[in-house]
């Protein structure tokens, strides 16, 4: 008989009676298995009689494999239970209570503890308030886009007033000090930098704005806490900066000859290029705003979801994310902790953030799956085949992974459309 009990974190404890007869059968199995491994004087391997084996090794030597045999049989009972089998998500832990006497000739109980899909109530997912999409494209936006096309051909010219402004290019010498002592890697001459590109420590470039050619200034900054060089992380530093030259970028003239070099279909004039860039910008904004609105709705739903997630479902996602970053570090052939440092984090912070994100992703999967089920948003078979390029004529074969990927993508598209169609839009 199986008795089930619900535990925290969406776990179930299934407890089974084990009769003395069942245990004796398990001991028979264990004897056959273990007798093959030992040699007893006077008998060929595996041919020693049971009483001789137990006299030498004791019946207790059979208990471990006998219990494994029992537990595997009980696990099969869980799999055969249609209700439990649908809920089962893994993470099995066997348990025998301290007061249970596991001994030949006695009945006893064993338990299997395992994770199941969490039971929860969906929060409000229709009528979620979100901000209206803003896909406005201004004349300035269009001009900036065209300027970006011209920038690769830009020329660097000395600036007339010799004063640094954001966007200018400066050549300068610098030397860094911490506690009035110069540090390794903190010095350069005639270093060239576009001011405002944020390549230096936060606050460095902004303090250079307004400096003139020939001027020397102390720039005071604080290294970020997660700075790659541990000996500098979080420390205040003084950089003695001397500006040698100041340049400005001069864009080339937008001519029809230049426009033709862009090889954009049906775009040959300034007006056509402006219309093209406006259309492209609007299209990108529409995609960006749709993504923003979708994320806004989903995050509001997740924030209001009360769910007791099983650890195995969270750990599955955490391990996948960790492996992704570990694989990247291996591709660059650098230690994982060094890779994290280059990303501006450390192992402790990474593990905490990954755990939180893994939990969020697991909740997202459960919530989305339930909405798809409730609202009947499962992709249709014909749509899946179309996405995979399967027709009656070609009868294309696809792997289970390809099929699942197509199903997931279409299901996600369906739920995004559903959530956006049922949202309440505000100014």
Domain that holds residue 321: 309-374
Tell me, yes or no, whether 392 lies in a domain. Answer: no
Mean pLDDT of 149-165: 94
Looking at the fold, whether 20 and 98 belong to one and the same domain comes out as: yes
Tell me, yes or no, whether 421 lies in a domain. Answer: no
For residue 97, the model assigns a pLDDT of: 85
What's the CATH code of the domain at 164? 3.10.50.40
Mean pLDDT of 59-80: 94
Pair type for strands 236-250 and 155-158 = antiparallel
For residue 176, the model assigns a pLDDT of: 96
Put simply, whether the predicted model's pTM sits higher than 0.75 gets the answer no
Looking at the fold, whether 15 and 94 belong to one and the same domain comes out as: yes
Burial annotation 175-197 (CB, 10 A radius, 16+ → b, else e): ebbeeeeebeebeeeeeebbbee
For residue 185, the model assigns a pLDDT of: 87
What's the CATH code of the domain at 80? 3.30.70.1050
Looking at the fold, whether 108 and 10 belong to one and the same domain comes out as: yes
What is the DSSP code string of 326-340? HHHHHHTT--HHHHH
Looking at the fold, whether 10 and 110 belong to one and the same domain comes out as: yes
Burial annotation 134-154 (CB, 10 A radius, 16+ → b, else e): eeebeeeebeebbeebeeeee
Tell me, yes or no, whether 186 lies in a domain. Answer: yes
Q: In this predicted model, what pLDDT tens digit does every residue of 277-302 receive, in sequence order?
A: 999 999 999 999 999 999 999 999 99
Torsion angles phi and psi, residue 294, rounded to 5: -60, -50
Looking at the fold, whether 317 and 367 belong to one and the same domain comes out as: yes
Pair type for strands 424-426 and 129-131 = parallel
Q: In this predicted model, what pLDDT tens digit does every residue of 29-51 receive, in sequence order?
A: 999 999 988 888 888 888 899 99
Which residues 6+ apart lie within 8 Å of 421 measured at CB? none
The percent of residues in the chain predicted with pLDDT above 90, rounded, is 85
Q: In this predicted model, what pLDDT tens digit does every residue of 202-260 receive, in sequence order?
A: 999 999 999 999 999 999 999 988 787 888 989 999 999 999 999 999 999 999 999 99
Looking at the fold, whether 162 and 241 belong to one and the same domain comes out as: yes
Tell me, yes or no, whether 244 lies in a domain. Answer: yes
Looking at the fold, whether 107 and 47 belong to one and the same domain comes out as: yes
User: Do residues 322 and 354 make contact, with C-beta atoms less than 8 angstroms apart?
Assistant: yes
Q: What is the count of structural domains for the chain?
A: 3
C-alpha span between 264 and 79 (Å, rounded): 61
Cα torsion 54, 57, 63, 65 to 10°: value is -100
Q: In this predicted model, what pLDDT tens digit does every residue of 159-211 receive, in sequence order?
A: 999 999 999 999 999 999 999 999 988 999 999 999 999 999 999 999 999 99
Tell me, yes or no, whether 339 lies in a domain. Answer: yes
Looking at the fold, whether 86 and 183 belong to one and the same domain comes out as: no
For residue 341, the model assigns a pLDDT of: 83
The percent of residues in the chain predicted with pLDDT above 70, rounded, is 100
For residue 330, the model assigns a pLDDT of: 94
Q: Among residues 207, 227, 250, which one ends one of the domains?
A: 250
Tell me, yes or no, whether 236 lies in a domain. Answer: yes
Report residue 90's pLDDT band, with 50, 70 and 90 as the boundaries: confident
Looking at the fold, whether 85 and 163 belong to one and the same domain comes out as: no
Which residues 6+ apart lie within 8 Å of 155 measured at CB? 249, 250, 252
Looking at the fold, whether 17 and 92 belong to one and the same domain comes out as: yes
Burial annotation 371-394 (CB, 10 A radius, 16+ → b, else e): bbeeeebebeeeebbebbebeeee
For residue 346, the model assigns a pLDDT of: 87
Listed as own residue / partner, the contacts of 417-420 with beta carbons closer than 8 Å and 24 or more positions apart are: 418/371, 418/375, 418/377, 419/125, 419/128, 419/294, 419/297, 419/298, 420/290, 420/293, 420/294, 420/297
Looking at the fold, whether 229 and 313 belong to one and the same domain comes out as: no
Cα torsion 40, 46, 50, 53 to 10°: value is 30
Tell me, yes or no, whether 241 lies in a domain. Answer: yes
Report residue 356's pLDDT band, with 50, 70 and 90 as the boundaries: very high
Distance set, CA 395 to CA 14, 370, 385, 388, 392 (Å): 46, 32, 10, 11, 5
Asked which of 107-111, 390-394, 421-425 is least confident by mean pLDDT, the reply is: 390-394
Query: For residue 269, what is the DSSP state?
Result: S
Q: Among residues 69, 89, 116, which one ends one of the domains?
A: 116
Tell me, yes or no, whether 259 lies in a domain. Answer: no
């Amino acid at each position: 008989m199986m008795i089930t009990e619900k535990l925290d974190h969406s776990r179930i404890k299934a407890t089974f009676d084990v009769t003395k007869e069942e245990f004796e059968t398990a001991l028979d199995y264990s004897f056959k298995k273990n007798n093959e491994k030992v040699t007893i004087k006077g008998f060929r391997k595996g041919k020693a009689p049971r009483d001789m084996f137990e006299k030498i090794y004791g019946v207790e030597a059979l208990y471990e494999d006998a219990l494994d045999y029992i537990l595997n049989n009980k696990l099969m009972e869980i799999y055969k239970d249609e209700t439990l089998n649908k809920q089962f998500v893994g993470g099995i832990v066997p348990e025998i209570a301290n007061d249970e006497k596991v001994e030949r000739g006695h009945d006893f109980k064993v338990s299997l503890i395992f994770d199941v899909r969490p039971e929860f109530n969906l929060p409000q997912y229709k009528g979620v308030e979100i901000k209206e999409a803003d896909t406005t494209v201004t004349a300035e936006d269009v001009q900036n886009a065209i300027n970006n096309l011209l920038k690769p051909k830009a020329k660097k010219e000395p600036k007339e007033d010799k004063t640094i402004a954001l966007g200018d290019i400066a050549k300068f010498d610098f030397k860094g000090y911490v506690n009035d002592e110069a540090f390794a890697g903190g010095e350069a001459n005639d270093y060239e930098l576009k001011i405002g590109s944020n390549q230096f420590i936060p606050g460095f470039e902004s303090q250079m704005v307004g400096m003139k050619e020939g001027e020397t200034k102390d720039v005071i900054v604080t290294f970020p806490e997660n700075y790659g060089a541990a000996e500098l992380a979080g420390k205040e530093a003084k950089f003695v900066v001397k500006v040698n030259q100041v340049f400005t970028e001069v864009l080339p003239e937008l001519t029809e000859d230049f426009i033709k070099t862009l090889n954009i279909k049906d775009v040959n004039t300034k007006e056509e290029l402006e219309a093209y860039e406006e259309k492209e910008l609007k299209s990108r904004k529409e995609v960006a705003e749709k993504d923003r609105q979708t994320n806004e709705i989903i995050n509001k739903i997740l924030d209001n979801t009360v769910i007791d997630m099983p650890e195995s479902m969270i750990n599955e996602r955490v391990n996948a994310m960790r492996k992704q970053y570990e694989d990247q570090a291996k591709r660059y052939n650098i230690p994982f902790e060094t890779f994290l440092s280059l990303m501006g984090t450390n192992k402790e912070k990474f593990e905490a953030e990954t755990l939180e994100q893994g939990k969020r992703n697991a909740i997202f999967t459960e919530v989305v799956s339930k909405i798809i089920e409730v609202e009947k948003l499962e992709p249709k078979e014909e749509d899946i085949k179309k996405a995979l390029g399967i027709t009656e004529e070609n009868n294309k074969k696809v792997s289970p992974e390809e099929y699942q990927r197509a199903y997931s993508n279409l299901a996600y598209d369906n739920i995004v459309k559903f959530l956006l169609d049922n949202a309440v839009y505000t100014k």
